[in-house]
Structure 1
């Protein structure tokens, strides 16, 4: 029986998804940052969900996203708020949707080695894992606006 090891790309994608889940847990429960990171690493990584095997997340990337998003929350929230359409406010967004946007904004801000289109695509895919409506398009628009401002030249109309 051969077990194929997940690609680095798949592990990074899984880290982004897990980071959004951890940020959501922190937001909902108020559990301290390091406790949530440790809990995910010890008890959730690699565990099947609804009987389906899950890709083991890239643990260092997971930790960077969760820590970075929380530590730089004021800056991240300002970026997201500034990129939202006028009829939306950060506080009124669905908590999970807000967590997706915050993680994506942090990664655009801090992970300059990852091309902006990849960051945007990854978080649109994370959004699709949780939402079936217009939310993926909204995340795409918000992160694209942030990328155009923070990383001019990396987006198609940059």
Structure 2
């Protein structure tokens, strides 16, 4: 699985963690490996800056924030049945969950898991980050689908963050 580097030239360790989490979740599904096995493999071989080891094009994520990466992967795998049910419920009735591209499934699982983290960033940050990640993996309509689905999932997961604050009185 090849991913293009995020558009920004500055290092973005949290974005790197999310890219790596999508790759790791893809691997857990395709290779039927445990989350801990994949986290260990990624931490030893694919994350961090190793001289002459390549970058995004070679499947490495040099600037990933490892604690966030591990937290996303663990949360997504631990709650996978619930997360998959939420994703499936957000799909059109004629689009079965199994029909999703495996990378798109991994991306939605990671995003949904992060939306469910009590100590996670604001939902707008999560959605924007996974939209950036989606653009790294897909050139078609998939990023729009990710945006819409994560927005719908966020509204169910953290509805209070969508409440509009009362308007201040005009003086």
Change in Cα spacing, 1:150 to 1:32, as seen in structure 2 (3 Å) is closer
Q: Work out whether 1:22 is the aligned partner of 2:29.
A: no
Show the counterpart of 2:4: none
- Give the superposition deviation at 1:151: 1.2
Show the counterpart of 2:6: none
Q: Work out whether 1:48 is the aligned partner of 2:50.
A: no
Show the counterpart of 2:69: 62
Gaps of 5+ in 2: 1-9, 165-171
Change in Cα spacing, 1:35 to 1:124, as seen in structure 2 (3 Å) is same
**Highest RCO, 1 vs 2 (Cα 8 Å, sep ≥ 6):** 2
TM-score using structure 1 length: 0.86
SS of the residue 2:44 aligns to: helix
Deviation string for 1:97-151 (max 9, x for gaps)?
A: 0110111011111245310011011111111111100000001111100111121
Q: Work out whether 1:88 is the aligned partner of 2:95.
A: yes
- Give the superposition deviation at 1:152: 1.4
Q: Number of residue pairs matched? A: 151
Q: Work out whether 1:109 is the aligned partner of 2:116.
A: yes
TM-score using structure 2 length: 0.80
Output the CA distance in 2 between the equivalents of 1:152 and 1:32: 32
Show the counterpart of 1:3: none
Output the CA distance in 2 between the equivalents of 1:86 and 1:71: 26
Over the aligned positions, Cα root-mean-square deviation in angstroms equals 2.3
Alignment of 1:136-151 (within 5 A): 136-151=143-158
Judge conservation of contact 2:46–2:61 (CA < 8 Å) in 1.
Answer: no
Runs of 4+, deviation exceeding 4 Å: none
SS of the residue 2:159 aligns to: coil
Point out the structure with max Rg over C-alpha: 2
